[in-house]
Structure 1
Amino acid sequence: MAQGKELSLFNGITIRRIWHKGEWYYSIVDIVAALTQNEKPSIYWSKVKKRARAEGFAEGIEPLKLKSADGKLRETDTANRETILRLIQSVPSPNAEPFRIWLAQVGEERFQEIEDPSLMLERMRQHYRKLNYPEEWIEQRIRNDIVRNDLTDEWRERGAKEGVQFAVLTNEIHEGTFEVSIQAHKTYKLLPSKTNLRDHMTVLELALLSLGEATAITLHQDRDTQGFEGLKKDSREAGTAAGRARKEIEQSVGHPVVSNQNFLKQQRRPLGQLSMFEEEEDV
């Protein structure tokens, strides 16, 4: 599975995190906000950081790119569970002990999913069932996510950089498949710009996108493609191939595959945050 950037919640506060070096790394500023309820957690953290340096455990802090409130990836101080537990001792808070328990729980969930990926898939099913998505759609969405994760693993291993390069490659496949960019597709569906488009695709749209992405995987592997430009060429070819399939389907069914259908009504229900669905793919 892809080692994607994800979110979790502690007492209703979003904690950004990323799977890095085989373990979770958490946004320290988010944790400070959760522990202290401080309106300016970044300023509070800058003071605590000086103390961390003096106490000799600042080496466990790593700046990693996480998505900020404006949707852009920005370097953010992060730390693994061991370092976070040490930091908690430097932040007086009645939430310290509940946070330690929460930290153990969210870490254990990820390890369980690595050992048994079916657990993650079942969490996805339950998430979409709570939103009243049709069962046929849910299964197609899961298949799409599996292919997507395999594709981003290929990109990562073959030298593409997460962020802009991943977005460009994704859009190449998407535009070749549907003859419309991701942003234009969102506009047609009347979706907010930061919405995850895949959560509003029809079963047929998802299936064709999976075809394009699976084709890209095959091209990358058959050609042993390395580097962004080569991956971009493969992605364009894969999208074109899926686009040919779309045109044949449209001739058979007698109407365009690209649909203005969305699932915004389902998503208005307040639900607990589920990780894995937050990462935007488009440029």
Structure 2
Amino acid sequence: MSSIKLFENKQVRVVWNDIEEKWYFSVQDVVELLTESTDVKQYIKRMLSRNEQLKINWGTICTLIEMRASDGKIRKIQAADTQGLLRIIQSIPSPKAEPFKLWLARVGSERLEEIENPELAVERARTLYQLKGYPEDWIEKRMRSIAIREELTDEWEKHGVQEKRNYAILTAEISKATFDLTPSEHKEIKGLKNQNLRDHMTDLELVFSMLGEASTTAIIKTKNPNGFKANKESAKQGGKIAGNAREALEKETGEKVVSEKNYLPEIKTKKLNQKKE
């Protein structure tokens, strides 16, 4: 459980979901922040009455998550992930919501361009990594890992794994077989919290991650599993191929593939190390 600050030092309650690897935000906190309403519950009711589609989809957009209330007690409150939160913000007629709406319009325009020309998405991702200071050879591996990952998720969808949440479970199976670690355990070793694990992998970690996922894709294509349970076995098999290769390399070099190294800004890394000490 954590909290983040948005605008004028006001806090919004958030919870990190390890399985889905994403934040859930208190809907009430965000609406109160953007509207400065004295009765936020009534404001949300009026907002839903004005927007029939939002009302219809409210149960999908929001979910009940345990968070600490102002009285210090833990209660289940309405929360939304980033996508759901942005959908809610679209329905708030407030000047404070305008920056988000303008950003959504720009992102939506870029996304349509990327659908028309997929190479644009690759180039934008490459540019972002360059701006963050990643080495060019690492960027090439990361671009390749993204392509391999997309091919794998396409195969999962074709073979009866429809719920995106199950992708995280299958990915964890590949990771456990490849590195003897779940993604959350791997992130802990690297001192990561809500950061993308793959953006902080070393060259070798990326290589073995790609091998596990590419092997899983090849197994799915040849064995044609259907449904979550069958694909879970394929994930274990594909990960094991990468795991065997990793163990062979570690035996030859005497060094572990999994590393504490990350690409966090130096100041954050120093603070993390001080806390460990």
Query: 1:225–1:231: 8 Å Cα contact kept in structure 2?
Result: yes
Q: In the alignment, is residue 237 of structure 1 matched against residue 251 of structure 2?
A: no
Relative contact order, higher structure (CA 8 A, sep 6+): 1
Q: Is 1:63 paired with 2:64? A: no
Alpha carbons of 1:106 and 1:267: their partners in 2 closer, same or farther (altered >3 Å)? farther
Which whole-Å deviations, capped at 9, do the CAs of 1:121-172 have from their partners, x for residues lacking one?
A: 2221222222211111112112112212222232233232222x22221111
Q: Which residue of 1 aligns with 2:261?
A: 261
What one-letter code is carried by the residue in structure 2 that aligns with 1:217? T
TM-score by length of 2: 0.68
Aligned to 1:52: 51
Name the structure 2 match of 1:112: 113
Unmatched tracts of structure 2, length 5 or more: 1-5, 7-11, 13-24, 68-77, 270-277
* TM-score for both structures, normalised by structure 1: 0.67
- Aligned-pair Cα RMSD in Å: 4.1
1:211 is displaced (CA, Å) by 0.8
- 8 Å contact kept, 1:60–1:80: no
Structure richer in helix, relative to its length: 2
Distance across 1 between alignment mates of 2:208 and 2:254: 17
Q: What is the DSSP-based 3-state SS (H/G/I as helix, E as strand, rest coil) of the residue aligned with 2:60?
A: strand
Q: CA deviation at 1:212?
A: 0.5
1:162 alignment partner AA: K
Deviation at 1:37, TM superposition (A): 5.5
- CA drift of 1:36 comes to 3.1
2:152 counterpart letter in structure 1? L
Q: Which residue does 1:168 correspond to in 2? A: 169
Write the mapping of 1:152-163 to structure 2, written as runs, cut at 5 A: 152-160=153-161, 161-163=163-165
**CA 1:116–1:168 in structure 2 vs 1: closer, same or farther (change >3 Å)?**
same
Distance across 2 between alignment mates of 1:107 and 1:232:
34
- Tell me if the contact between 2:177 and 2:239 (Cα under 8 Å) persists in the aligned partners: yes
Give the aligned residue type for 2:159. R
For the residues of structure 1 that align with 2:114 and 2:39, how far apart are their CA atoms? Answer: 35
Q: Per the alignment, do residues 140 and 49 of structure 1 end up closer, same or farther by CA in structure 2, a change over 3 Å counting?
A: same
Please state whether the residue corresponding to 2:164 is helix, strand or coil.
coil
Q: CA deviation at 1:246?
A: 1.3
Instruction: Give ranges in structure 1 of 5+ residues lacking alignment.
Output: 1-8, 15-26, 270-283
Work out the number of aligned pairs and report it: 238
